[in-house]
Amino acid sequence: MTHCRKKYAVIVADDFGSSSSVNLAIAEAHDRGILTAASLMAGGSAFEEAVEIAQKRRGLSIGLHVTLCDGRAVLPSSEIPGLANSCGRFEKSPSRAWMKYRRSGLLGQIDREIEAQFDRLEKAGVRPTHIDGHHHLHMHPTVFELLCGHASRRGIRWVRIPREPLRSLLRFPSPARGAMPFLEWAVFAILGRMHGRKARAHGLNSIPKVYGLARTGQCDERYLLHIFKRATGSLEIFTHPDTATAAGRHELEALTSAAARAALDARSAVLAGYRELSIDAAVPDGMREIV
């Protein structure tokens, strides 16, 4: 049987390795729920623990969650003085980091840090199946081009390009984030087509519909049910479960919800990780990024 008529649902947790509480939530969401993939932070304080969790769960696809803001660098700050402070930490604000990385003089440092993050995963025995970025900073034009080049050379075939329908943001406003989801949506809509062409030039694919922007850090059962009942074709949903915060626990509850599982089954979607999507040489119908 070919893949051409299948609808895939890839459910991803970001920030794997950032803390033990996040790691625990991801393990539980995979064991008892619908989580199929996790994106690993190479510089996360609980990186080694995350690797152990992943090694015990072969059904969990692991990708690189490229981190260039609000986190710790892999390389020593002496090698990337323009990116990290003396404590080895990046700029905390994603918006300030975005503006900072427009400087061409940082290109070499960004390139070396991305390579070091890939290397750390591979040295730990992790072969990434996909790539995305912390706070979506991988969508920065400078970062995206470099990232796709590294991913292509390492045989990675999938990159996240956020593409959530505007109606989702209108239906699920996020008071805590104000207008930020709409600003991100507009920026990613502009960059999406350009990045789609760049990704394909490097042999990478992206899922046409990627949800999570409307409820970043606030994904709940109602939001998942809305997506599963309304979305057509294949999709990715990115989430942020965490046992240490109220918002993170709500996301974990949503990912282990019987109602969400039932709604997913009702749309006859194949629950899969990026590893399953990459098994065949041919890209399944409806999965290639649409320009």
pLDDT score for 290:
32
Q: Looking at the domain assignment, is residue 95 inside a domain?
A: yes
pLDDT score for 83:
97
**Opening angle at CA 42, ends 38 and 44, nearest 5:** 90
- How many angstroms separate the CA atoms of 254 and 233, rounded? 21
Q: Looking at the domain assignment, is residue 282 inside a domain?
A: no
In the predicted structure, residue 69 carries a pLDDT above the cut 80: yes
pLDDT score for 169:
82
Mean pLDDT in the chain?
91
Q: Looking at the domain assignment, is residue 93 inside a domain?
A: yes
In the predicted structure, residue 1 carries a pLDDT above the cut 60: no
Helix (H, G, I), strand (E, B) or coil at 72: strand
Express each pLDDT in 192-239 by its tens digit. Answer: 999 999 999 999 999 999 999 888 888 999 999 999 988 888 999 999
Residues, the chain, total? 291
Helix (H, G, I), strand (E, B) or coil at 202: coil
pLDDT score for 9:
94
Express each pLDDT in 104-146 by its tens digit. Answer: 789 999 999 999 999 999 999 999 999 999 999 999 999 999 9
pLDDT score for 288:
44
175's CB contacts (< 8 A; 6+ apart) are none
CATH number for the domain harbouring residue 238: 3.20.20.370
Q: Looking at the domain assignment, is residue 291 inside a domain?
A: no
Q: Looking at the domain assignment, is residue 283 inside a domain?
A: no
Q: Looking at the domain assignment, is residue 148 inside a domain?
A: yes
Question: Are 210 and 136 a contacting pair, CB within 8 Å?
Answer: no
In the predicted structure, residue 51 carries a pLDDT above the cut 50: yes
In the predicted structure, residue 79 carries a pLDDT above the cut 50: yes
* Structural domain span for residue 126: 7-277
Between strands 37-40 and 269-271, the pairing is: unpaired
Percent of the chain with pLDDT over 90: 75
Express each pLDDT in 253-290 by its tens digit. Answer: 999 999 999 999 888 889 999 998 876 434 444 444 43
Q: Looking at the domain assignment, is residue 252 inside a domain?
A: yes
pLDDT grade for 173, boundaries at 50, 70 and 90: confident
- 48 — phi, psi (to 5°)? -60, -40
- 131 — phi, psi (to 5°)? -135, 145
Q: Looking at the domain assignment, is residue 102 inside a domain?
A: yes
pLDDT grade for 167, boundaries at 50, 70 and 90: confident
- How many angstroms separate the CA atoms of 219 and 174, rounded? 10
In the predicted structure, residue 158 carries a pLDDT above the cut 90: yes
Going by the DSSP 8-state scheme, the letter that residue 98 receives in this structure is H
Helix (H, G, I), strand (E, B) or coil at 213: coil
Residue 103 structure tokens = 């400087």
In the predicted structure, residue 176 carries a pLDDT above the cut 80: no
How many CA atoms, within 13 angstroms, populate the side-chain half-sphere of residue 270? 14
pLDDT score for 291:
27
Going by the DSSP 8-state scheme, the letter that residue 290 receives in this structure is P
38-52, 59-73, 118-132, 182-196 — which is least confidently predicted? 182-196
Average confidence (pLDDT) over 68-87: 97
- How many angstroms separate the CA atoms of 149 and 110, rounded? 13
- How many angstroms separate the CA atoms of 46 and 65, rounded? 14
Percent of the chain with pLDDT over 70: 94
